[in-house]
Amino acid sequence: MIGLTGFGGYIPRLRLSRKSIADTNGWIQPGLKGLGKGERSICNWDEDSVTMAVEAARDCLHDRDNAEIRAIYLGSTTLPFLDRQNSGIVAAALNMDESLSTVDITSSQKAGTTALSTALDSADSSDGKEILVLASDARHTRAAAQQEMIFGDGAAAFTVGSKGVIAESLARHSFATDFVDHYRGENRSYDYNWEERWIRDEGYLKIMPQAIDKALAKAGIDAASVDTLIAPSTLKRVPEKIAQMTGINADALADALDGRVGATGCAHPLVMLSHVLESAKPGQIIVVASFGQGCDVLIFKVTNAIADRQPQTGISGYIARRQEETNYNKYMAFNDLVEQEKGMRAELDNQTAMTQLYRRRDMLLGLVGGECDVCGTRQFPRSRVCVNPNCNATNTQKPCNFSDTPAKIMTWSADHLTYCPDPPLHYGMIQFEGGGRFLANFTDADVGHVGTGQDVKMMFRVKDFDNQRGFRRYFWKAAPIRTSEESKNG
């Protein structure tokens, strides 16, 4: 039996009120006011498709051995590097064994489902290992564009294999045609969108029902027996029409998360699938369809193992971990929609030494430190000499991964002088459970809600940008954990 063996996801903490977008841009686009309900997820300034993919993978693999993974397939249309393997960065951040295959799949809104379908085709029941499938998108739009109201940022993760299958793959069908509903050409930052009625009538309503019908026929399943249909579309009433045309019950349509997250690009069908699996019951039939220069359809049957493979936080948990953002100007700044005067302190040369990045990749990307074999002292970074003054043994440190180790804030500062895209810059000394400490930058930190002794979670983020050369450097930051009561009180 081949199918899904685990799942997870990630939604950024920040939620931009759609009303703030409409209030700012309604003078030039009055039609935006009709879309001004709810909120959408937005990346912090130090998040992108790679960092979201890492967090989704951690959510999926929280109780798993990374040695079980033999390949990583990453689907995205917003990869930060055009000529550097982005899935390779993810593998390094997850501290994966380097004897694995990494693949980037892009250039279509069905890149996420294509990655999953390819993994299911490639899964081998003989070796017992799994393929990690990731889909992540942070789509950019022009200010005041309708898509700015509709889109959201997010990622999903799945493992595919033959052991501990939680959702058996029953059938798959793909349909490829160069139907151009939108495109983004070379050296262009934003999509060019075609007319909505044409996309609806000639695209979704002719292509998707045909593909779903063929997939159901392959699986030998009657449409009326489908428990959940995932068929996301940014066009109103299209999912309902597709359900009607295929004979699937309208009440089988999955929550599209429109009012809380938005459409997360090629990740969205898999974000919805991850969300559905959180409450799925054994025996349920799930149909996943995605549209983009054709259509992918995947059909799964939930097994009894679903209760044993739940994510650490899940899409629902990350939706609940929200911080409202009403400052549209901050969103514009984070997405380079406005040119700002950053001041002299921002005039730094952030060139990365590629030699050091490679030689110390386990430390810089995987947050791997050391643990002394003699006295058990942990430290970051790893060095030849143990930092314990009562030991000082040399060449005794074995690798120790700190990325998933709980930690607390020992000391902290909020720096208003050093340049930061979202001032003040919070940083401080953190102490890891079981030993080890280092001076870390903080992320997702709220002014007035950072304190000594506070728990933090390590998160993979963008450290800084080298705008002269088009390079971005990644590292781990400490995210202060606020209690539910603190979050309620703002």
Q: Cβ contacts of residue 449 below 8 Å, gap of 6+? A: 480, 482, 486
Domains of the chain: 3-334 (3.40.47.10), 344-367+402-488 (no CATH)
pLDDT tens for the chain, residues 1 to 490: 999 999 999 999 999 999 999 999 999 999 898 889 999 999 999 999 999 999 999 999 998 888 899 999 999 999 999 999 999 999 999 999 999 999 999 999 999 999 999 999 999 776 779 999 999 999 999 999 999 999 999 999 999 999 999 999 999 999 999 999 999 999 899 999 999 999 999 999 999 999 999 999 999 999 999 999 999 999 999 999 999 999 999 999 999 999 999 999 999 999 999 999 999 999 999 999 999 999 999 999 999 999 999 999 999 999 999 999 999 999 999 999 998 888 888 888 999 999 999 999 999 999 999 999 999 999 999 999 999 999 999 999 999 999 999 999 999 999 999 999 999 999 999 999 999 999 999 999 999 999 999 999 999 999 999 999 999 999 999 999 986 555 554 5
Instruction: Please tell me whether the peptide bond between 381 and the residue prior to it is cis, using omega within 30 degrees of 0.
Output: yes
Q: What angle do CA 250, 253, 254 make, to 5 degrees?
A: 160
Phi, psi of 130 (to 5 degrees): -120, 165
In this structure, what DSSP letter does residue 445 have? P
DSSP 153-183: -EEEEEEEESSS-SEEEEEEEEEE----SEE
Q: pTM score, two decimals?
A: 0.96
Q: Would you say 44 and 352 are in contact if contact means Cβ atoms under 8 Å apart? A: no
Which two tokens mark 187?
């050296």
